[in-house]
Chain A
Amino acid sequence: MRKADLVIIGGGPAGMSAAVEGALLNLDVVLIEDCSELGGKVLKKASLLLKAGEGEGSEDMARQGLHSAFTGIADKVTLFCNSDVWSVSSEKIVELYFHSPSQNSAVTVQAEKIIIANGAVDRIVPFPGWHLPGVFTIGGLNTFVKRGVVPGYNVVVSGTGPLQVALVYYLVNAGVKVSAVVDPNSMFGMAPTGWNLLTGGGIDKFIMGMKYLFNIRKKSVPFYYSHIVTEVVGNDRVEGAVVSKVDSQWKPIEGTEREVKADIVATGYNLLPITEVARLIGCSTCYNEELGHLLVEHNDTMETSVEGVFVVGDGAAIKGFQAAADEGVIAAVEAARQLGKISDQMAKERITPLQRKLLGARRIGTAMCKSARPRPGLLKMVTSETVVCRCEEVTYGDIKSATENGARDINDLKRRTRLGMGNCQGTFCGQVANELMWKATGKAWSRSGFTARQPIRPVPIGIIAGDNSHPELED
Protein backbone atom coordinates (compact mmCIF):
# COMPACT_ATOMS: atom_id res chain seq x y z
CA MET A 1 0.00 0.00 0.00
CA ARG A 2 1.19 3.51 -0.84
CA LYS A 3 2.00 5.48 2.33
CA ALA A 4 1.97 9.27 2.73
CA ASP A 5 2.51 11.81 5.50
CA LEU A 6 -0.32 13.93 4.23
CA VAL A 7 -3.22 13.13 1.93
CA ILE A 8 -5.16 16.15 0.69
CA ILE A 9 -8.61 15.52 -0.74
CA GLY A 10 -9.47 18.31 -3.19
CA GLY A 11 -7.21 20.42 -5.43
CA GLY A 12 -8.89 23.81 -5.17
CA PRO A 13 -7.40 26.91 -3.50
CA ALA A 14 -7.46 25.30 -0.03
CA GLY A 15 -6.01 21.95 -1.12
CA MET A 16 -3.35 23.48 -3.38
CA SER A 17 -2.17 25.87 -0.65
CA ALA A 18 -2.03 23.00 1.82
CA ALA A 19 0.01 20.96 -0.68
CA VAL A 20 2.46 23.81 -1.28
CA GLU A 21 2.93 24.40 2.45
CA GLY A 22 3.22 20.67 3.18
CA ALA A 23 5.83 20.16 0.46
CA LEU A 24 7.85 23.15 1.68
CA LEU A 25 7.82 21.59 5.15
CA ASN A 26 9.20 18.34 3.67
CA LEU A 27 6.06 16.28 4.06
CA ASP A 28 5.39 13.44 1.65
CA VAL A 29 2.18 14.84 0.11
CA VAL A 30 -0.49 13.11 -1.98
CA LEU A 31 -2.98 15.51 -3.59
CA ILE A 32 -6.24 14.13 -5.00
CA GLU A 33 -8.39 16.11 -7.44
CA ASP A 34 -11.59 14.87 -9.08
CA CYS A 35 -11.34 17.10 -12.16
CA SER A 36 -8.66 17.01 -14.86
CA GLU A 37 -6.98 20.20 -13.66
CA LEU A 38 -6.17 21.92 -10.38
CA GLY A 39 -7.58 25.20 -9.10
CA GLY A 40 -11.07 24.17 -8.08
CA LYS A 41 -14.10 25.90 -9.47
CA VAL A 42 -12.86 29.47 -8.97
CA LEU A 43 -9.15 29.36 -9.72
CA LYS A 44 -9.02 26.89 -12.59
CA LYS A 45 -6.27 27.78 -15.04
CA ALA A 46 -7.06 30.52 -17.54
CA SER A 47 -10.36 30.03 -19.25
CA LEU A 48 -10.46 29.42 -22.97
CA LEU A 49 -11.90 32.68 -24.19
CA LEU A 50 -11.66 34.80 -21.08
CA LYS A 51 -8.61 36.94 -21.69
CA ALA A 52 -6.27 37.60 -18.79
CA GLY A 53 -7.39 40.68 -16.92
CA GLU A 54 -11.03 40.24 -17.91
CA GLY A 55 -11.80 38.50 -14.69
CA GLU A 56 -11.74 40.26 -11.37
CA GLY A 57 -8.25 41.64 -10.59
CA SER A 58 -7.67 39.95 -7.24
CA GLU A 59 -9.04 36.68 -8.64
CA ASP A 60 -6.62 36.77 -11.59
CA MET A 61 -3.71 37.48 -9.27
CA ALA A 62 -4.68 34.72 -6.87
CA ARG A 63 -5.02 32.31 -9.80
CA GLN A 64 -1.55 33.11 -11.12
CA GLY A 65 0.02 33.12 -7.65
CA LEU A 66 -1.43 29.78 -6.66
CA HIS A 67 -0.55 27.98 -9.89
CA SER A 68 3.02 29.30 -9.97
CA ALA A 69 3.53 28.41 -6.28
CA PHE A 70 2.32 24.91 -7.04
CA THR A 71 4.56 24.58 -10.11
CA GLY A 72 7.50 25.37 -7.80
CA ILE A 73 6.87 22.30 -5.64
CA ALA A 74 5.07 20.05 -8.14
CA ASP A 75 7.90 17.52 -8.29
CA LYS A 76 7.61 16.96 -4.52
CA VAL A 77 3.88 16.20 -4.60
CA THR A 78 2.17 13.04 -5.87
CA LEU A 79 -0.80 14.35 -7.81
CA PHE A 80 -3.79 12.19 -8.75
CA CYS A 81 -6.17 14.02 -11.10
CA ASN A 82 -9.46 12.65 -12.47
CA SER A 83 -9.70 10.75 -9.20
CA ASP A 84 -12.73 10.15 -7.05
CA VAL A 85 -12.24 9.34 -3.39
CA TRP A 86 -14.85 6.65 -2.80
CA SER A 87 -13.88 5.61 0.70
CA VAL A 88 -11.87 6.86 3.68
CA SER A 89 -11.70 4.80 6.85
CA SER A 90 -11.22 6.11 10.38
CA GLU A 91 -7.76 4.42 10.16
CA LYS A 92 -7.01 6.99 7.42
CA ILE A 93 -6.96 4.53 4.54
CA VAL A 94 -7.97 6.49 1.44
CA GLU A 95 -9.41 4.64 -1.57
CA LEU A 96 -9.41 6.43 -4.90
CA TYR A 97 -10.53 5.57 -8.36
CA PHE A 98 -9.34 7.10 -11.66
CA HIS A 99 -12.26 7.87 -13.90
CA SER A 100 -11.72 8.49 -17.57
CA PRO A 101 -12.83 6.59 -20.63
CA SER A 102 -9.29 5.36 -21.27
CA GLN A 103 -8.27 4.56 -17.72
CA ASN A 104 -10.01 2.44 -15.13
CA SER A 105 -7.91 1.76 -12.07
CA ALA A 106 -7.60 2.46 -8.39
CA VAL A 107 -5.08 3.22 -5.66
CA THR A 108 -5.16 2.83 -1.89
CA VAL A 109 -3.16 5.23 0.26
CA GLN A 110 -2.43 4.95 3.98
CA ALA A 111 -2.25 8.50 5.33
CA GLU A 112 -0.69 9.80 8.53
CA LYS A 113 -2.72 13.01 8.28
CA ILE A 114 -5.67 13.92 6.08
CA ILE A 115 -6.79 17.36 4.96
CA ILE A 116 -10.33 17.43 3.58
CA ALA A 117 -10.61 20.27 1.10
CA ASN A 118 -13.52 19.14 -1.01
CA GLY A 119 -15.28 22.46 -1.36
CA ALA A 120 -18.89 23.31 -1.79
CA VAL A 121 -21.90 22.66 -3.95
CA ASP A 122 -24.66 25.02 -5.13
CA ARG A 123 -27.54 25.31 -2.69
CA ILE A 124 -30.82 24.57 -4.44
CA VAL A 125 -34.58 24.44 -3.92
CA PRO A 126 -36.46 22.21 -6.37
CA PHE A 127 -39.30 23.69 -8.45
CA PRO A 128 -41.43 22.43 -11.33
CA GLY A 129 -39.28 21.95 -14.43
CA TRP A 130 -35.88 22.32 -12.76
CA HIS A 131 -34.88 18.93 -14.20
CA LEU A 132 -35.19 20.11 -17.82
CA PRO A 133 -32.08 20.42 -20.00
CA GLY A 134 -31.19 24.11 -20.02
CA VAL A 135 -31.61 24.57 -16.26
CA PHE A 136 -28.23 24.91 -14.53
CA THR A 137 -27.07 25.77 -11.06
CA ILE A 138 -25.73 29.32 -10.93
CA GLY A 139 -22.25 27.96 -10.21
CA GLY A 140 -22.63 25.41 -13.01
CA LEU A 141 -23.60 27.92 -15.68
CA ASN A 142 -20.81 30.19 -14.44
CA THR A 143 -18.22 27.45 -15.10
CA PHE A 144 -19.33 27.26 -18.71
CA VAL A 145 -19.72 31.01 -19.28
CA LYS A 146 -16.25 31.69 -17.85
CA ARG A 147 -14.90 29.25 -20.46
CA GLY A 148 -16.64 31.19 -23.21
CA VAL A 149 -19.50 28.73 -23.64
CA VAL A 150 -23.07 30.06 -23.58
CA PRO A 151 -25.59 27.41 -24.56
CA GLY A 152 -28.57 29.72 -25.30
CA TYR A 153 -29.81 33.18 -26.22
CA ASN A 154 -32.19 34.24 -23.45
CA VAL A 155 -30.91 33.61 -19.95
CA VAL A 156 -32.89 33.97 -16.73
CA VAL A 157 -30.89 33.97 -13.49
CA SER A 158 -32.93 33.22 -10.38
CA GLY A 159 -31.80 33.03 -6.78
CA THR A 160 -29.51 34.75 -4.32
CA GLY A 161 -25.89 35.23 -3.40
CA PRO A 162 -22.68 36.75 -4.75
CA LEU A 163 -22.29 34.10 -7.46
CA GLN A 164 -25.51 35.31 -9.04
CA VAL A 165 -24.13 38.82 -9.50
CA ALA A 166 -20.86 37.43 -10.87
CA LEU A 167 -22.71 35.20 -13.35
CA VAL A 168 -24.81 38.07 -14.69
CA TYR A 169 -21.66 40.17 -15.05
CA TYR A 170 -19.91 37.46 -17.07
CA LEU A 171 -23.03 36.94 -19.20
CA VAL A 172 -23.45 40.61 -20.15
CA ASN A 173 -19.71 40.85 -20.80
CA ALA A 174 -20.03 37.92 -23.20
CA GLY A 175 -22.79 39.84 -25.00
CA VAL A 176 -25.56 37.46 -23.95
CA LYS A 177 -29.12 38.68 -23.51
CA VAL A 178 -30.14 38.29 -19.88
CA SER A 179 -33.96 38.32 -19.94
CA ALA A 180 -34.28 38.67 -16.18
CA VAL A 181 -32.36 38.60 -12.93
CA VAL A 182 -34.76 37.34 -10.27
CA ASP A 183 -33.97 37.66 -6.56
CA PRO A 184 -36.39 36.86 -3.70
CA ASN A 185 -34.57 39.35 -1.47
CA SER A 186 -35.86 42.89 -1.50
CA MET A 187 -33.71 45.53 -3.17
CA PHE A 188 -32.08 46.15 0.21
CA GLY A 189 -31.53 42.47 0.95
CA MET A 190 -27.84 42.74 0.14
CA ALA A 191 -27.34 45.79 2.39
CA PRO A 192 -26.16 43.80 5.47
CA THR A 193 -23.66 41.98 3.25
CA GLY A 194 -22.32 45.28 1.93
CA TRP A 195 -21.98 46.61 5.46
CA ASN A 196 -20.12 43.49 6.57
CA LEU A 197 -17.80 43.72 3.57
CA LEU A 198 -16.93 47.32 4.39
CA THR A 199 -16.36 46.69 8.09
CA GLY A 200 -14.91 43.18 7.88
CA GLY A 201 -11.89 43.90 5.71
CA GLY A 202 -13.63 42.89 2.49
CA ILE A 203 -13.23 46.23 0.74
CA ASP A 204 -11.84 44.57 -2.41
CA LYS A 205 -14.90 42.33 -2.62
CA PHE A 206 -17.16 45.33 -2.06
CA ILE A 207 -15.52 47.20 -4.94
CA MET A 208 -15.74 44.11 -7.13
CA GLY A 209 -19.45 43.73 -6.33
CA MET A 210 -20.08 47.39 -7.14
CA LYS A 211 -18.15 47.06 -10.41
CA TYR A 212 -20.25 44.04 -11.35
CA LEU A 213 -23.52 45.80 -10.49
CA PHE A 214 -22.51 48.97 -12.32
CA ASN A 215 -21.66 47.02 -15.49
CA ILE A 216 -24.90 45.07 -15.29
CA ARG A 217 -26.92 48.28 -14.82
CA LYS A 218 -25.22 49.84 -17.84
CA LYS A 219 -26.60 47.03 -20.02
CA SER A 220 -30.10 47.69 -18.54
CA VAL A 221 -30.69 44.12 -17.49
CA PRO A 222 -34.19 43.80 -15.98
CA PHE A 223 -33.99 43.08 -12.23
CA TYR A 224 -36.93 41.55 -10.37
CA TYR A 225 -36.40 41.93 -6.62
CA SER A 226 -38.83 40.13 -4.27
CA HIS A 227 -39.54 37.67 -7.10
CA ILE A 228 -38.55 34.09 -7.90
CA VAL A 229 -38.79 31.72 -10.86
CA THR A 230 -41.55 29.35 -9.73
CA GLU A 231 -41.66 27.16 -12.83
CA VAL A 232 -39.72 26.34 -15.94
CA VAL A 233 -41.87 25.29 -18.87
CA GLY A 234 -40.84 23.17 -21.80
CA ASN A 235 -41.15 19.72 -23.28
CA ASP A 236 -37.63 18.32 -23.46
CA ARG A 237 -35.77 21.59 -22.82
CA VAL A 238 -36.36 25.04 -21.37
CA GLU A 239 -38.90 27.00 -23.40
CA GLY A 240 -39.84 29.68 -20.88
CA ALA A 241 -39.90 30.61 -17.21
CA VAL A 242 -42.68 31.73 -14.87
CA VAL A 243 -41.72 34.51 -12.46
CA SER A 244 -43.81 35.27 -9.34
CA LYS A 245 -43.69 37.91 -6.64
CA VAL A 246 -42.84 36.58 -3.17
CA ASP A 247 -43.74 37.68 0.36
CA SER A 248 -41.24 38.30 3.17
CA GLN A 249 -40.84 34.54 3.74
CA TRP A 250 -40.29 34.15 -0.02
CA LYS A 251 -43.63 32.42 -0.50
CA PRO A 252 -44.81 32.97 -4.10
CA ILE A 253 -47.96 35.13 -4.14
CA GLU A 254 -50.75 33.65 -6.24
CA GLY A 255 -51.97 35.75 -9.13
CA THR A 256 -48.61 37.51 -9.65
CA GLU A 257 -47.21 35.00 -12.16
CA ARG A 258 -45.87 36.24 -15.47
CA GLU A 259 -44.04 34.39 -18.20
CA VAL A 260 -40.53 35.43 -19.19
CA LYS A 261 -38.71 34.46 -22.39
CA ALA A 262 -35.98 31.94 -21.58
CA ASP A 263 -34.01 29.10 -23.09
CA ILE A 264 -31.52 28.92 -20.21
CA VAL A 265 -32.33 29.22 -16.51
CA ALA A 266 -29.76 29.36 -13.71
CA THR A 267 -30.89 28.75 -10.14
CA GLY A 268 -29.19 28.70 -6.75
CA TYR A 269 -28.92 30.18 -3.28
CA ASN A 270 -25.18 30.55 -2.71
CA LEU A 271 -23.27 27.41 -1.65
CA LEU A 272 -23.29 24.55 0.87
CA PRO A 273 -20.19 22.81 2.27
CA ILE A 274 -19.72 19.21 1.08
CA THR A 275 -19.41 17.14 4.27
CA GLU A 276 -19.66 13.52 3.17
CA VAL A 277 -15.95 12.58 3.48
CA ALA A 278 -15.77 14.08 6.99
CA ARG A 279 -18.96 12.30 8.01
CA LEU A 280 -17.72 9.02 6.55
CA ILE A 281 -14.54 9.23 8.62
CA GLY A 282 -16.68 9.93 11.68
CA CYS A 283 -15.88 13.61 12.30
CA SER A 284 -18.44 15.36 14.51
CA THR A 285 -20.86 17.70 12.78
CA CYS A 286 -23.38 20.17 14.12
CA TYR A 287 -26.48 21.73 12.61
CA ASN A 288 -26.06 25.49 12.35
CA GLU A 289 -29.42 27.17 13.04
CA GLU A 290 -28.37 30.50 11.49
CA LEU A 291 -27.26 28.96 8.22
CA GLY A 292 -29.68 26.04 8.15
CA HIS A 293 -27.17 23.31 7.34
CA LEU A 294 -24.54 20.96 8.77
CA LEU A 295 -21.02 22.12 9.57
CA VAL A 296 -18.05 19.89 10.37
CA GLU A 297 -16.72 20.82 13.81
CA HIS A 298 -13.08 21.90 13.97
CA ASN A 299 -10.69 23.71 16.29
CA ASP A 300 -8.63 26.82 15.48
CA THR A 301 -6.03 24.77 13.60
CA MET A 302 -8.83 23.26 11.45
CA GLU A 303 -8.51 19.81 13.07
CA THR A 304 -11.78 17.88 13.33
CA SER A 305 -12.92 15.67 16.21
CA VAL A 306 -10.88 12.84 14.62
CA GLU A 307 -7.20 13.28 15.45
CA GLY A 308 -5.07 14.09 12.41
CA VAL A 309 -8.04 14.82 10.15
CA PHE A 310 -8.48 18.45 9.10
CA VAL A 311 -11.25 20.24 7.23
CA VAL A 312 -10.48 23.43 5.30
CA GLY A 313 -11.93 25.83 2.75
CA ASP A 314 -15.54 26.08 1.69
CA GLY A 315 -15.99 22.46 2.80
CA ALA A 316 -15.60 23.76 6.37
CA ALA A 317 -17.75 26.87 5.90
CA ILE A 318 -18.41 29.15 2.92
CA LYS A 319 -16.07 32.13 2.86
CA GLY A 320 -14.31 32.25 -0.51
CA PHE A 321 -10.97 31.32 -2.01
CA GLN A 322 -8.60 33.67 -0.14
CA ALA A 323 -9.72 32.45 3.27
CA ALA A 324 -9.77 28.86 1.97
CA ALA A 325 -6.10 29.15 0.99
CA ASP A 326 -5.20 30.49 4.45
CA GLU A 327 -7.00 27.61 6.14
CA GLY A 328 -5.14 25.15 3.92
CA VAL A 329 -1.83 26.59 5.10
CA ILE A 330 -2.88 26.45 8.77
CA ALA A 331 -3.87 22.79 8.51
CA ALA A 332 -0.68 21.81 6.67
CA VAL A 333 1.52 23.59 9.24
CA GLU A 334 -0.31 21.92 12.12
CA ALA A 335 -0.01 18.52 10.40
CA ALA A 336 3.75 19.10 9.99
CA ARG A 337 4.02 20.11 13.64
CA GLN A 338 2.23 16.96 14.77
CA LEU A 339 4.61 14.89 12.62
CA GLY A 340 7.60 16.62 14.21
CA LYS A 341 8.72 18.41 11.04
CA ILE A 342 8.68 21.86 12.63
CA SER A 343 8.84 23.18 16.17
CA ASP A 344 5.79 24.36 18.12
CA GLN A 345 7.21 27.88 18.09
CA MET A 346 7.68 27.99 14.31
CA ALA A 347 4.20 26.60 13.73
CA LYS A 348 2.70 29.22 16.02
CA GLU A 349 4.50 32.04 14.22
CA ARG A 350 3.17 30.87 10.88
CA ILE A 351 -0.39 30.14 12.03
CA THR A 352 -1.28 33.05 14.35
CA PRO A 353 -1.29 35.89 11.76
CA LEU A 354 -3.41 33.75 9.40
CA GLN A 355 -5.92 33.01 12.14
CA ARG A 356 -6.28 36.72 12.78
CA LYS A 357 -6.71 37.41 9.05
CA LEU A 358 -9.48 34.80 8.84
CA LEU A 359 -11.83 36.47 11.34
CA GLY A 360 -13.14 39.09 8.90
CA ALA A 361 -13.50 36.67 6.00
CA ARG A 362 -15.50 34.26 8.13
CA ARG A 363 -17.83 37.02 9.28
CA ILE A 364 -18.43 38.11 5.69
CA GLY A 365 -18.98 34.52 4.57
CA THR A 366 -21.55 33.91 7.29
CA ALA A 367 -23.38 37.17 6.51
CA MET A 368 -23.55 36.31 2.80
CA CYS A 369 -24.82 32.80 3.50
CA LYS A 370 -27.47 34.15 5.87
CA SER A 371 -28.85 36.67 3.39
CA ALA A 372 -28.78 34.05 0.61
CA ARG A 373 -30.31 31.25 2.68
CA PRO A 374 -33.56 29.99 1.14
CA ARG A 375 -36.53 30.92 3.32
CA PRO A 376 -39.26 28.38 4.07
CA GLY A 377 -41.90 30.02 1.83
CA LEU A 378 -39.99 28.88 -1.27
CA LEU A 379 -41.08 25.29 -0.66
CA LYS A 380 -44.58 26.34 -1.74
CA MET A 381 -43.21 26.05 -5.31
CA VAL A 382 -42.74 22.30 -4.89
CA THR A 383 -45.79 20.45 -6.29
CA SER A 384 -46.63 16.73 -6.13
CA GLU A 385 -45.23 16.25 -9.63
CA THR A 386 -41.97 18.14 -8.93
CA VAL A 387 -38.92 15.92 -9.21
CA VAL A 388 -36.94 16.17 -5.94
CA CYS A 389 -34.34 13.41 -6.37
CA ARG A 390 -33.16 13.92 -9.94
CA CYS A 391 -31.13 10.69 -10.12
CA GLU A 392 -33.87 8.30 -9.04
CA GLU A 393 -36.74 10.46 -10.34
CA VAL A 394 -38.49 10.66 -6.96
CA THR A 395 -41.18 13.34 -6.79
CA TYR A 396 -42.58 15.31 -3.87
CA GLY A 397 -45.73 13.18 -4.29
CA ASP A 398 -43.62 10.09 -3.54
CA ILE A 399 -42.23 11.80 -0.42
CA LYS A 400 -45.76 12.66 0.71
CA SER A 401 -47.02 9.10 0.38
CA ALA A 402 -43.89 7.74 2.13
CA THR A 403 -44.49 10.08 5.11
CA GLU A 404 -48.18 9.14 5.15
CA ASN A 405 -47.07 5.51 5.29
CA GLY A 406 -44.85 6.20 8.29
CA ALA A 407 -41.40 7.25 7.01
CA ARG A 408 -39.65 8.55 10.13
CA ASP A 409 -36.55 10.35 8.84
CA ILE A 410 -34.68 10.85 5.58
CA ASN A 411 -32.80 7.55 5.87
CA ASP A 412 -36.15 5.81 6.20
CA LEU A 413 -37.44 7.91 3.28
CA LYS A 414 -34.40 6.79 1.26
CA ARG A 415 -35.16 3.09 1.88
CA ARG A 416 -38.80 3.54 0.92
CA THR A 417 -38.45 5.74 -2.19
CA ARG A 418 -34.80 5.42 -3.37
CA LEU A 419 -34.44 9.21 -2.84
CA GLY A 420 -30.72 9.89 -2.47
CA MET A 421 -29.64 6.45 -3.73
CA GLY A 422 -28.63 7.58 -7.20
CA ASN A 423 -25.40 8.70 -8.78
CA CYS A 424 -25.09 12.01 -6.93
CA GLN A 425 -25.70 10.26 -3.59
CA GLY A 426 -28.17 12.83 -2.31
CA THR A 427 -25.95 15.85 -2.96
CA PHE A 428 -28.93 17.88 -4.16
CA CYS A 429 -32.12 16.20 -2.84
CA GLY A 430 -30.46 15.72 0.56
CA GLN A 431 -30.38 19.51 0.97
CA VAL A 432 -34.17 19.77 1.19
CA ALA A 433 -35.40 16.27 2.07
CA ASN A 434 -35.96 17.07 5.76
CA GLU A 435 -37.81 20.28 4.96
CA LEU A 436 -40.00 18.54 2.39
CA MET A 437 -40.92 15.88 4.96
CA TRP A 438 -41.83 18.74 7.31
CA LYS A 439 -43.91 20.31 4.54
CA ALA A 440 -45.72 17.01 4.00
CA THR A 441 -46.53 16.51 7.70
CA GLY A 442 -46.99 20.15 8.66
CA LYS A 443 -44.43 20.04 11.49
CA ALA A 444 -40.65 20.34 11.87
CA TRP A 445 -39.04 17.30 13.49
CA SER A 446 -36.02 15.22 12.40
CA ARG A 447 -32.88 17.03 11.28
CA SER A 448 -30.81 14.02 10.42
CA GLY A 449 -28.67 13.84 7.30
CA PHE A 450 -28.16 10.77 5.13
CA THR A 451 -25.83 8.30 6.84
CA ALA A 452 -22.51 8.51 4.96
CA ARG A 453 -21.51 5.11 3.65
CA GLN A 454 -18.87 3.93 1.25
CA PRO A 455 -18.77 4.10 -1.71
CA ILE A 456 -19.52 7.83 -1.49
CA ARG A 457 -19.06 8.13 -5.26
CA PRO A 458 -20.20 5.68 -7.93
CA VAL A 459 -17.42 3.16 -8.55
CA PRO A 460 -17.32 -0.04 -10.65
CA ILE A 461 -17.78 -3.16 -8.53
CA GLY A 462 -14.52 -4.57 -9.92
CA ILE A 463 -12.64 -1.68 -8.31
CA ILE A 464 -14.14 -2.40 -4.89
CA ALA A 465 -13.43 -6.10 -5.24
CA GLY A 466 -9.97 -5.69 -6.76
CA ASP A 467 -6.54 -5.51 -5.21
CA ASN A 468 -5.69 -1.80 -5.24
CA SER A 469 -2.42 -2.01 -3.35
CA HIS A 470 -0.16 -1.24 -6.36
CA PRO A 471 3.26 -2.41 -5.13
CA GLU A 472 4.97 -0.38 -7.90
CA LEU A 473 3.84 2.80 -6.17
CA GLU A 474 5.32 1.84 -2.81
CA ASP A 475 8.29 3.76 -1.61
Chain B
Amino acid sequence: MPASDKFQIQFDGEHLSAAHGQTIAEALLANQKLIFRNTPKNVSRGPFCGMGVCYECRMIVDGVPNVRTCTTKATPGCRIEIQEDGQIKSPEEKP
Protein backbone atom coordinates (compact mmCIF):
# COMPACT_ATOMS: atom_id res chain seq x y z
CA MET B 1 0.00 0.00 0.00
CA PRO B 2 1.42 3.45 -0.86
CA ALA B 3 2.62 5.39 2.18
CA SER B 4 0.46 8.37 1.15
CA ASP B 5 -2.59 6.29 2.03
CA LYS B 6 -1.50 6.14 5.67
CA PHE B 7 -2.37 8.69 8.32
CA GLN B 8 -2.28 9.11 12.08
CA ILE B 9 -5.12 8.84 14.57
CA GLN B 10 -5.06 9.47 18.31
CA PHE B 11 -6.05 6.69 20.67
CA ASP B 12 -6.10 7.63 24.36
CA GLY B 13 -3.15 9.97 23.81
CA GLU B 14 -1.20 7.49 21.68
CA HIS B 15 -0.54 8.07 17.96
CA LEU B 16 -1.53 5.12 15.80
CA SER B 17 -1.26 4.56 12.09
CA ALA B 18 -4.42 4.01 10.02
CA ALA B 19 -4.96 3.32 6.33
CA HIS B 20 -7.25 5.22 4.00
CA GLY B 21 -10.69 3.61 3.89
CA GLN B 22 -10.31 1.79 7.18
CA THR B 23 -12.99 1.96 9.83
CA ILE B 24 -11.88 3.05 13.29
CA ALA B 25 -12.30 -0.51 14.56
CA GLU B 26 -10.15 -1.87 11.74
CA ALA B 27 -7.43 0.67 12.48
CA LEU B 28 -7.41 -0.13 16.20
CA LEU B 29 -7.49 -3.91 15.69
CA ALA B 30 -4.67 -3.65 13.14
CA ASN B 31 -2.67 -2.03 15.96
CA GLN B 32 -3.62 -4.98 18.23
CA LYS B 33 -5.92 -2.79 20.36
CA LEU B 34 -8.78 -4.98 21.57
CA ILE B 35 -10.39 -3.10 24.46
CA PHE B 36 -12.88 -0.51 23.18
CA ARG B 37 -15.12 0.17 26.14
CA ASN B 38 -15.75 -0.72 29.77
CA THR B 39 -19.26 -1.62 30.89
CA PRO B 40 -21.12 -0.13 33.89
CA LYS B 41 -19.85 -3.18 35.84
CA ASN B 42 -16.36 -2.23 34.60
CA VAL B 43 -15.84 -5.26 32.37
CA SER B 44 -13.84 -4.70 29.19
CA ARG B 45 -15.43 -5.22 25.80
CA GLY B 46 -14.28 -5.07 22.21
CA PRO B 47 -15.76 -5.54 18.74
CA PHE B 48 -17.88 -8.68 18.42
CA CYS B 49 -20.18 -8.73 15.38
CA GLY B 50 -18.14 -6.46 13.09
CA MET B 51 -21.26 -5.22 11.31
CA GLY B 52 -22.89 -2.60 13.48
CA VAL B 53 -25.56 -4.63 15.27
CA CYS B 54 -24.01 -5.60 18.63
CA TYR B 55 -22.90 -2.08 19.65
CA GLU B 56 -19.97 -3.54 21.64
CA CYS B 57 -17.41 -1.42 19.75
CA ARG B 58 -18.88 1.96 20.63
CA MET B 59 -16.34 4.57 21.67
CA ILE B 60 -15.92 8.30 22.11
CA VAL B 61 -14.88 9.80 18.76
CA ASP B 62 -13.87 13.47 18.69
CA GLY B 63 -15.80 13.93 21.92
CA VAL B 64 -18.98 12.22 20.73
CA PRO B 65 -19.89 9.08 22.73
CA ASN B 66 -21.63 5.91 21.50
CA VAL B 67 -20.07 5.94 18.01
CA ARG B 68 -20.05 2.46 16.48
CA THR B 69 -16.43 2.28 15.40
CA CYS B 70 -16.92 -0.77 13.16
CA THR B 71 -19.12 1.22 10.78
CA THR B 72 -17.41 4.61 11.12
CA LYS B 73 -14.43 5.49 8.93
CA ALA B 74 -11.23 6.73 10.51
CA THR B 75 -10.24 10.27 9.52
CA PRO B 76 -6.78 11.88 9.78
CA GLY B 77 -6.16 13.14 13.30
CA CYS B 78 -9.42 11.84 14.76
CA ARG B 79 -9.42 11.48 18.54
CA ILE B 80 -10.56 8.08 19.84
CA GLU B 81 -11.16 7.36 23.51
CA ILE B 82 -12.16 4.21 25.37
CA GLN B 83 -15.76 4.65 26.49
CA GLU B 84 -16.34 4.22 30.21
CA ASP B 85 -20.04 3.42 30.39
CA GLY B 86 -20.04 3.70 34.17
CA GLN B 87 -19.20 7.38 33.91
CA ILE B 88 -20.39 8.57 30.50
CA LYS B 89 -20.59 12.32 29.92
CA SER B 90 -22.67 14.14 27.36
CA PRO B 91 -20.71 15.90 24.56
CA GLU B 92 -21.39 19.34 26.12
CA GLU B 93 -19.59 18.41 29.33
CA LYS B 94 -16.40 17.60 27.43
CA PRO B 95 -13.64 20.20 27.42
Interface on A for B, CB 8 Å cutoff?
Answer: 34-36, 41, 48-49, 82, 99-101, 121-122, 131-137, 139-144, 147-152, 236-237, 274, 390-391, 393, 422-424, 427-428, 458
A152 to B34, CA, bound (A): 9
Q: Pick from A48, A121, A390: contact of B56, CB below 8 A.
A: A390
Q: Pick from A49, A135, A393: contact of B48, CB below 8 A.
A: A135
Say whether A136 contacts B47, CB under 8 Å.
yes
B76 interfacial contact with A, CB 8 Å: no
* Contact A151 B50, CB 8 Å, known A101-B61, A131-B45: no
* Contact A48 B21, CB 8 Å, known A144-B29, A424-B55: yes
Question: What distance in Å separates the Cβ of A169 from its nearest Cβ neighbour in chain B?
Answer: 17
Say whether B40 contacts A237, CB under 8 Å.
no
Say whether B46 contacts A134, CB under 8 Å.
yes
A contact patch SS: loop
Question: What distance in Å separates the Cβ of A383 from its nearest Cβ neighbour in chain B?
Answer: 16
A134: nearest chain-B partner, CB-CB: B34
CB neighbours of A458 from chain B (8 A): 55, 66
Give the contacts of B25-75 with A (CB-CB under 8 A): 25-26, 29-30, 32-36, 39-41, 43-56, 58, 61-62, 64, 66-68, 70-73
Say whether B32 contacts A147, CB under 8 Å.
no
A428 to B22, CA, bound (A): 26
A149 to B1, CA, bound (A): 14
B9 interfacial contact with A, CB 8 Å: no
* Contact A35 B71, CB 8 Å, known A41-B51, A121-B49: yes
* Contact A141 B50, CB 8 Å, known A48-B19, A101-B64: yes
Say whether B47 contacts A140, CB under 8 Å.
yes
B26: nearest chain-A partner, CB-CB: A149
A238: nearest chain-B partner, CB-CB: B34
Given A136-B47, A393-B40, A424-B53, 5 more pairs with CB closer than 8 A: A36-B71, A41-B51, A101-B61, A122-B49, A236-B35
CB neighbours of A82 from chain B (8 A): 71
Most buried by A among B26, B33, B40: B26
A302 to B63, CA, bound (A): 44
Say whether B51 contacts A427, CB under 8 Å.
no
A423: nearest chain-B partner, CB-CB: B55
CB neighbours of A139 from chain B (8 A): 49-51
Say whether A151 contacts B56, CB under 8 Å.
no
A148 to B23, CA, bound (A): 12
Say whether A151 contacts B30, CB under 8 Å.
yes
* Contact A152 B44, CB 8 Å, known A48-B21, A390-B56: no
Q: Pick from A236, A423, A427: contact of B58, CB below 8 A.
A: A423
- The 12 listed contacts between A and B (C-beta, < 8 Å) are A35-B51, A48-B1, A49-B1, A134-B34, A136-B48, A137-B49, A141-B50, A152-B34, A236-B44, A237-B46, A427-B53, A428-B49
